[in-house]
Amino acid sequence: MKRIKVGLLSKKRGNYKLQERLSGKENVIDLTNNEVEHHKHALLEAGFDVKVIGWDSNFIKKIRESNIASALVNYRQPEVVPEKEPTPCPPDVCE
């Protein structure tokens, strides 16, 4: 049986860029590649043929040349590295 070919668009979300500006690049964990791999693995397990396509100024041309049936965009909110460990709750308040 022929497998449906799906394009998975990989794009660093604008939220990451905003968080990097606000918190500093070193304080933001960009998990875009991890998320793309997660989606790719799930699609492969579901029986699709997957083509990862990087999001750049040429992505529409890449989609057309890939001869895919559908294109999916990964999406994940950025995670900000905490500045320090949270302060433990005082025993008289948390008990």
Q: Output the pLDDT for position 41.
A: 93
Domain positions in the chain: 5-77
Count the helices and strands in the chain (H runs, E runs).
Answer: 4, 5
Give the model's pLDDT for residue 64.
85
Q: What is the mean pLDDT of residues 32-57?
A: 89
First to last CA, the chain: 61
pLDDT in tens, 56-89: 888 888 888 888 776 665 555 555 555 666 556 6
Output the furthest CA–CA distance in the chain (Å, rounded): 65
Q: Is 21 exposed, middle or buried (0-12, 13-18, 19+ CB in 10 A)?
A: exposed
Distance in angstroms (rounded) separating the CA atoms of residues 34 and 28: 14
pLDDT in tens, 17-37: 788 888 888 888 878 888 889
